[in-house]
Copies of this chain bind each other. A is one copy, B any other.
Amino acid sequence: MRKADRVAGPATSRSIAPGDAKTPRTERGRRTLRAILDAAAVEFGERGFHEASISGITRRAGVALGSFYTYFDSKDSVFRALVRDMSAQVRDHVGPGVRAATDAIAAERAGLEQFVGFVRRHKEIYRIIDEAEFVDPASYRLHYATTAERIVERLRAGAQRGELRDDVSEVHAWAVMGMNVFLGLRYGVWDEDRPVDEVADTIADFLRRGLSP
């Protein structure tokens, strides 16, 4: 996978200019925007929003400082674009595994497994989404609200199929999401001292007992 695809690749059908970016009209413009977005992901991931600088982004992208403002209105606006893009990436990477699962518990197990694996490979995404809580609260809320929504739908579908208890609710969904996020932080970002498999097995067993009818 080419580097640029990480941020705006064809695999996910996301447009080249997510969020607030101005759409380039020429091929050269498309290349520049792509370079800026990639560089921004690295810069924000390494230094965090406030330590990051526009000049750091353009230096990494190999373009002039002013070129940044050809595509974005402000530092905030790249960050917003990035958060939305990464939120979508998490969804796109976790989704297939979940949908391929044979039952409700297997689905949640797959979700956790994919998620922890994904954050191991993209630690900067974890950081960027988390920092959105302070920089772009709206996107942050949206990300987690949407994620919880998806989980509760899966749980309810499982209940209807008789695989889970009838009283599964939003509370369970937030609990599951909270587990995933913190397990991702602990076993994905901070330390990889435990196989993802093992963590997923442990949690799957826990959920099976806790949520079965």
Contacts and interface: CB of A to CB of B under 8 A. Distances in A.
Interface stretch (A9-17, A30-38, A83-91, A177-185): A177-185
Interface stretch (A96-104, A117-125, A199-207): A199-207
Q: Is the interface of A mostly helix, strand, loop or mixed?
A: helix
- Indicate how many identical chains form the complex: 4
Residue from A175, A181, A198, A203 with most neighbouring chain B CB atoms (10 Å)? A175
Interface residues of A, number: 38
A46 to B, nearest CB: 12
A211 B199 CA distance: 15
Interface of A: 48-50, 127, 130-131, 133-134, 141, 144, 148, 169, 171-172, 174-175, 177-183, 185-187, 190, 194, 198-199, 202-203, 206-207, 209-212
10 contacts: A130-B133, A141-B190, A144-B185, A171-B202, A175-B203, A177-B182, A181-B182, A209-B210, A209-B211, A210-B210
